[in-house]
Copies of this chain bind each other. A is one copy, B any other.
Amino acid sequence: MVQPSRSAPPCPFPKVFPSQLERNDEFYMWLAYNQALDAWREDEVPIGAIIELGGEVIASAHNQRDSTRDPTAHAEILALGQAAQAIGDWRLNQATLYVTKEPCPMCAGASLMARVKRVVFAVSDPKMGCLGGATDLNTLPQVNHHLEISRGLLEQPCLELIQAYFKLKRSED
């Protein structure tokens, strides 16, 4: 479904290869960052996501909204679907979602619906973020699942990427 991009501005950021020796939060977030670079190369807003379970990466995805023309094809939605296929269960209650930007209303909701154990995000989003930015869906008392949340990991490189992409896109107009 993904069509090759015709107009991605050249991406000046190289991929990062973190050591495999210590698989900590930073390791997985760099992989999410690399996914965001893949989004850029397809001329998509550079947001990437990784899902970890038991020390393994069970899903890697990046934003594909424009290339697939699918409003639901955000990095997190694609990763959650992949992860559920990988383990054969829609309940991801031992998994951690790493994503380079705070999830939007849809993706914050999807993390709750999938009963993800933990969400780690880099860049906060006061406009659209729904895990503390614009609102916090995780605090709804009636919802029968709550996420553990970590904010701000690798915020600077993930933010630079998004800002640089939009700056180059605007200069194209």
CB of A108 within 8 Å of the partner chain: yes
Residues of B contacting A113 in the complex (Cβ-Cβ under 8 angstroms): 71-72, 74, 104-106
Contact between B71 and A105, CB atoms less than 8 A apart: no
Q: Does A156 lie at the interface of the complex (its beta carbon under 8 Å from any beta carbon of B)?
A: no
Residues of B within 8 A of A77 (CB): 72, 77
Interface size class of A (residues with CB under 8 A): 35 or more
Chain A contact surface mostly: loop
A110 to B113, CA, bound (A): 13
Q: Are B88 and A81 in contact (CB under 8 A)?
A: no
Q: Judging by beta carbons under 8 Å apart, are B127 and A135 in contact?
A: no
Q: Which of A31-39, A137-145, A159-167 contacts B (4 or more CB under 8 A)?
A: A137-145
Task: State the CA gap A81–B81 with chains docked (Å).
Answer: 14
Would you call B81 and A72 a contact (CB within 8 A)?
Answer: yes
Instruction: Determine the chain B residues whose CB is within 8 A of the CB of A106 once the complex forms.
Output: 106-107, 109-110, 112-113
A70 contacts the other chain (Cβ, under 8 Å)?
A: yes
* A61 CB to nearest B CB, Å: 12
User: What's the nearest-Cβ distance from chain B to residue A118, in Å?
Assistant: 15
With a cutoff of 8 Å between Cβ atoms, the chain B residues found around residue A115 in the complex are 71
| 7 closest residue pairs by CB, A with B | A105-B109, A106-B109, A71-B114, A71-B90, A106-B110, A127-B142, A109-B109
Give A residues with C-beta under 8 Å from B: 65-66, 69-74, 77, 80-81, 84-85, 88-92, 104-110, 112-115, 126-128, 130, 134-135, 137, 140, 142-144
